[in-house]
Structure 1
Amino acid sequence: MKILVARLNHETNTFSPIATPLKSFGDDGPLYGIDAYKASKNTRTGIAAFIDVLEQAGHEVVVACTATANPSGTVCAKAYTHLCDTIVAAAKGCDAVALDLHGAMVAENSPDGEGDLLERVRAALPHAPIAVALDLHGKITEKLIKNSDIVISFKTYPHVDMYETGAHAGRLLVDMISGRIKPKLAWRRLPLILNTLCSRTDIGPMHEAVELARAAEAQGMLGVSVLAGFSLADIEAPCISVVGVSDNDPQAAEEVVQRIAEFVWSKRKDFIYKSEPLEVSIARAKELAAQPGEGPVLLLDHGDNCMSGGTCDDMNVLHEALKQGLEDIVVGPICDPQAVDQLIKAGLNAKVTLAVGDKVPLTQLGVTNPPRPLTGIVSGISDGQYIVSGPTYTGQRIHMGRTVCLQLPQAKVMITETPQEHWDLGIFSHIGIDAPKHRFILLKSRMYCRPVFVPISKALVECDGGGVTGADHTRFPYTKLKRPVYPFDLNTEWA
C-alpha cells in the first residue's frame, strides 16, 4: 500500500514571548518529500521508525514533510496552515496514514493543532487507517481521538523512546492494514493540570501510572498511554489523559483507561510541585558543594527551560549564585545574539564589560528584568555545532549559532545565538569547556539534561529563577482554562 508519513512537532507555551514562524520548524524551515525522507532515516525519532517498519512490511512510504520546532510561543497561522496543507495535499492517493506529532500544538488559528489536522486528514481519506505517535506531554482532545485509529505516546520522560513509540504505532498500523487487528480506542481526560517536573517516569506517581499501562499491554491491550498534558498552554484542557487501544474490544479498553485514570486521580496531590525561594536553593547548593563527594553540583534553572518555551536569557539564577559567592561555575547557554556579536567583534582574549541576558521581556507574566553587566575575558569562540552522542537524538547535529565563552572571575558563561537544550556534554566541550571538572554546572533545563549530567554530578538542586517555564502556575494568567480544575480548585470532583 501507499502510506502517507509526516512529522509535525511543536510543544506550544502560549505564555512564551518567542515567536514560532515557519522557519522555526527545522534548521532553516521544514524539509519536504525526498529531503524529509533522507533527513529522517537513521534517526532516533518516531518518523524514522514509521519509515523502517512500513518499508520492512513492503509498503510504499510517501513522506510529506518533517517539521520540528523547539517549544516556543503560539505557532503563527501562516506556518500552521501551510504545514497542514502540505500534509493533506500529500494524502491524495494514499491508503493509510502514519503521523509523528507532538500533541501540544497551539496555533493562532487553532487551539487544537493536532486535532484540527487529523480532522482534515480524515476528511481527505475517510476510510484510511490513521496511526499517530505522540509525545508524553501531548494533550488529548475529542477531535484527535475521533479522527485516529491508533494512538500511542512516549512512556519515558526524559524522552528516550521516540523511535520505540513510532515503531509500536507502525506495527499496529501494519497489522490493521493486513486485517490481523481491529483497533478500538478509549480515553479519559482528568481535570488535573500536572506540573511538568512531576511527570518524570523514573520515580513518583507518573512512573506508577506508566507501569500500569505497561502491565495492561502485557495482558493483551494493543497499547496504553498516559499523557501528562502540557500545563503551560492556555487552552480549555491542557490536562492529563489516558488512552487505550484494544483489539476489537471496546469494553476492555474502557475498563483499562478508567482504572488507570482512577489511580492518577487518587494521586493528584503528588503531581503538584512546590518551588522553594531561589535564595534558599542557591544556599543549599553551596552547602552541598562543601560536602564530601566527587563531581559538580548541578543547578537546574527549570524556570527558563528552552524545551518548554523558555527564552534562555533569564539571568536571576546566575546573579543570585554570584551574589552568594559561588565559584567555579559553568553556565549556559545564555541566548543573547546581541552579546555574541559584541564579544566576537571584541575578539579572543579581550576584556569586556557588557549586559548579558534579560533582554526578552516576559510580557504576559508582567516580568521585565533590566539587563545587568558582566565583566570578563573572551576565552572561546565557535560555530556552535556538535553531534549528540546520546541517549536522546543520538547522531543529530546541533546548530546553536555562533557561540562565545566569557570567563568571569567566578564563572564561565557560554552565550549562544539561539536557545538550546543540554542534550550532551558536547554542548560545552565543543568550545573547550570540560564541565565535569568544575564545582557547579548551571543549566537552563528541566529534565532532558539528566541522563547525561546527573551521572557526573554529586548533587542536584532545582532552581526557579521566575522565567516563563516556572513551576508556580498561579503566576500565569490563564483565560481559556475550563474550571474547575485541580490544583487551582482544590475541591474539583471527577468520576
Structure 2
Amino acid sequence: MRMKILIARMNHETNTFSPVATPLEAFGPDGPCYGDDAYREHAGMRTAMSAFIDAAKREDASIVTPISASANPSGRVAAAAYDAICASIVDAAEGCDAVMLDLHGAMVAENSPDGEGDLLERVRRVLPHAPIAVSLDLHGNVTQKMIDHADVIVSFKTYPHIDMYESGAHAARLLFDRMHGKAEPVIAWAQPPLMTHTLRSATDEGAMKRAVDAARAAEREDGVLAVSVLPGFSLADIEAPCLSVIVVADGSRAKAQEVADRMARLIWDERESFVYRSAPLADSISEGARLARATDKPVLLLDHGDNCMSGGTCDTTDAFEEALQQGLDGIVVGPLCDPDAVAKLYAAGEGARVTLGIGNKLASVASRGKLPLEVTGVVRALTNGEYIISGPTYTGQRAYMGRAAVIETQNARILLTERTHEPWDLGVFESVGIDPRSARFLILKSRMYCRPVFVPLSGGFVECDSRGVTGSDYALFSFSNLKRPVFPLDANVEY
C-alpha cells in the first residue's frame, strides 16, 4: 500500500511587543492556502515544504497538504487564527503514516505561548506511533514540547535564509531513513541562558559562523545525523527566547546529548559575541553620508529598529527624518506601511501634487507619541503591489505588498504600502517604477534579508537603530514571563 504523508506549513515569528495584528488573513495574500492550492503554492519552489513534497513524490506516497499558512513577523497570533490553522493540520492527521511540518519555531498565539509545541503535542496525540519530521527557522525558540513530540528536527543553517529547501530535504531524508529501517533518529538538545541579538546571528561572520561550522563538523561524526544551532528570537516575552542546539543521532541519545552539550558550551564561551550594541542614530546617518562621498553607488541605510521581518510596524520615520535633517538627498525609502496614506494617494491619482502625513500611526514603543511626518510631493505610481521574487530567498513566489503608492518629494521617493513588507527583492521597487540603483541613499526597513540582493549593487551599508519595536536595546522592552537570570540582561549568569 502507498504511504500516506501529511505535509503542512505554519510559519510565524512572533514579536510579542509588536502592535501589528496577526489575524488569519495575515497568513497569505488573503489568508492561508488549503488542500490542492497549498500543494501548488510549494510545488517546484525552494521552501522546506517544497522539499517535503519532492521527497514524498520520490517515495510515490499519497500526499495530503491540508494548509500552507505563512505570515510576516508581527504581534501575537489571534487565537481564532491559531485554532483554525492547527485544526486544519490535526484533522488531516488521522490515518497518515508520517508527518512533515514546515514550522518557524517562534510562534506565540493569544492562547498559546508555545505555538509549535502545542501543535506537535496535538498531532502526536492523534498519531502516537507515526514519525514526525520538522524543519525550523534558524530563529526558532525551541521548547521541551517540540523536542518531546518530534522524531526529527532540522533547522536552517543560513541567515539570510537561503537553505530552506535544503533543511527540509535533510529532515525528510532522516524521516524516510527511519521508515525504511536505515536509521533510528533520536533527539537531544541544550539551551544556555543566552538571549542573542538578531544582528549577531548572520551565518557568514563572527561567532555564529563559527557555531555553524562546528555544527557541520559534528555532523561528520559517527552516529550524528543532524546538528542545528538556533540563536532564537529574543523579542518574545516567553520563558526562554534563547539560543538552542538540537542534535539528531542514530539510536544513541547519549551521543546526541554529548554533542549538544559540547556545542552549547562552545557557544556560551563566546556569549559576548552574540550581543549587538547600536550606535546613536545620528552617528549612523552621518556614517552613511561619509560613505556616499566615496562612491557613486547607492548607500544602504538599514533601519533595523523597525524591521519588517522581526515584527516592526514599518511606519516609523526616525531614520528618514534624521537623513533629511542632515541634508541628504537622492533618497529612496520604503516600503513604509501606511494604508491611510496609500488610500489618500489613490484618491488623488497619479500626477497629483499632495501634502499629507505619513507614518507614526501605530501605537508602539517606536512611535512614542510622534505625529505623522508631513511631506509634499507628486504621486508618481499607483500599483497593486504584486511582483514575483527573483531570489535567492523565496525564489519564484508571488509577493503581495497590498496596494502601493509612490510620492516624490524634493529629496526623496517614498514607497508606501498597505502591508508590512520586507525589501528582499529588486521587485519591491521595480514593480512601482523605481530603479533602486539610481538612488543616492536607500533607506530600507530591513535587517538582513535585503543584503543578498541590495548589498552587491551598493557602495556600502550602515546599520541604523531607530529604537523601534525591533530595536536592539532590550531596555526598551518589558519582559514579564522571562526566566531569569539570563545573559545579557543579567550579570554573573552561570551555565
Q: Is TM > 0.5 for Structure 1 vs Structure 2? A: yes
8 Å CA contact 2:361–2:367 kept in 1: the answer is no
Match of 1:89 in 2: 91
Displacement of 1:3: 1.2
- Matching of residue 274 in structure 1 with residue 293 in structure 2: no
Displacement of 1:467: 1.2
1:385-396 superposed matches below 5 A: 385-396=386-397
Displacement of 1:366: 7.8
Equivalent residue pairs, number: 492
Instruction: Tell me how far apart the structure 1 counterparts of residues 102 and 369 of structure 2 sit (CA, whole Å).
Output: 37
SS in 1 for 2:425: coil
Displacement of 1:241: 0.3
Displacement of 1:2: 0.8
Displacement of 1:218: 2.2
1:305-320 superposed matches below 5 A: 305-320=307-322
8 Å CA contact 2:13–2:73 kept in 1: the answer is yes
Q: Tell me which amino acid in the other structure corresponds to 1:26.
A: G
SS in 1 for 2:229: strand
Instruction: Tell me how far apart the structure 1 counterparts of residues 132 and 227 of structure 2 sit (CA, whole Å).
Output: 17
Match of 1:261 in 2: 264
SS in 2 for 1:349: coil
Instruction: Tell me how far apart the structure 2 counterparts of residues 401 and 81 of structure 1 sit (CA, whole Å).
Output: 25
Match of 2:351 in 1: 349
SS in 2 for 1:218: coil
CA deviations over 1:68-120 (Å, ceiling 9, x no partner)? 11100001111111111111110011111111100000011110000011011
Q: Tell me which amino acid in the other structure corresponds to 2:137.
A: D
Q: Any stretches of 5+ residues in structure 2 without a counterpart?
A: none
1:5-44 superposed matches below 5 A: 5-44=7-46
1:188-267 superposed matches below 5 A: 188-220=190-222, 221-267=224-270
8 Å CA contact 2:367–2:468 kept in 1: the answer is no
Displacement of 1:240: 0.2
Instruction: Tell me how far apart the structure 2 counterparts of residues 426 and 29 of structure 1 sit (CA, whole Å).
Output: 22
SS in 2 for 1:327: coil
Q: Tell me which amino acid in the other structure corresponds to 2:75.
A: G
8 Å CA contact 1:130–1:148 kept in 2: the answer is yes
- Matching of residue 331 in structure 1 with residue 337 in structure 2: no
Instruction: Tell me how far apart the structure 1 counterparts of residues 125 and 139 of structure 2 sit (CA, whole Å).
Output: 26
Instruction: Tell me how far apart the structure 1 counterparts of residues 119 and 347 of structure 2 sit (CA, whole Å).
Output: 46
CA deviations over 1:323-347 (Å, ceiling 9, x no partner)? 1000101111111111111112112
Q: Tell me which amino acid in the other structure corresponds to 2:8.
A: A
8 Å CA contact 2:116–2:146 kept in 1: the answer is yes
Match of 1:114 in 2: 116
Q: Which moved more, 1:344-353 or 1:446-455?
A: 344-353
Match of 1:464 in 2: 465
- Matching of residue 415 in structure 1 with residue 416 in structure 2: yes
- Residue identity over aligned pairs, in percent, reads 57
Instruction: Tell me how far apart the structure 2 counterparts of residues 365 and 128 of structure 1 sit (CA, whole Å).
Output: 46
8 Å CA contact 1:365–1:476 kept in 2: the answer is no
Q: Tell me which amino acid in the other structure corresponds to 1:266.
A: D
SS in 1 for 2:65: strand
Instruction: Tell me how far apart the structure 1 counterparts of residues 179 and 423 of structure 2 sit (CA, whole Å).
Output: 40
SS in 2 for 1:79: helix
Instruction: Tell me how far apart the structure 2 counterparts of residues 368 and 245 of structure 1 sit (CA, whole Å).
Output: 49
SS in 2 for 1:119: helix
8 Å CA contact 2:360–2:367 kept in 1: the answer is no
Match of 1:283 in 2: 286
Match of 1:129 in 2: 131
8 Å CA contact 1:15–1:365 kept in 2: the answer is no
Q: Which moved more, 1:366-375 or 1:394-403?
A: 366-375
Q: Tell me which amino acid in the other structure corresponds to 1:144.
A: M
Find the partner of 1:155 among 153, 157, 170: 157
Instruction: Tell me how far apart the structure 2 counterparts of residues 385 and 374 of structure 1 sit (CA, whole Å).
Output: 25
8 Å CA contact 2:21–2:77 kept in 1: the answer is yes
CA deviations over 1:306-355 (Å, ceiling 9, x no partner)? 11110110001001100100010111111111111111211222111110
Q: Tell me which amino acid in the other structure corresponds to 1:457.
A: S
SS in 2 for 1:230: coil
Instruction: Tell me how far apart the structure 2 counterparts of residues 347 and 38 of structure 1 sit (CA, whole Å).
Output: 36
Displacement of 1:237: 0.2
- Matching of residue 105 in structure 1 with residue 107 in structure 2: yes
Match of 1:447 in 2: 448
Q: Tell me which amino acid in the other structure corresponds to 1:224.
A: V
8 Å CA contact 1:157–1:200 kept in 2: the answer is yes
Displacement of 1:365: 6.8
Q: Tell me which amino acid in the other structure corresponds to 2:197.
A: N
Find the partner of 1:61 among 54, 58, 63: 63
CA deviations over 1:246-269 (Å, ceiling 9, x no partner)? 111222211211111011100100
Q: Any stretches of 5+ residues in structure 1 without a counterpart?
A: none
Displacement of 1:58: 2.2
CA deviations over 1:396-429 (Å, ceiling 9, x no partner)? 1111122111111111111111110012111111
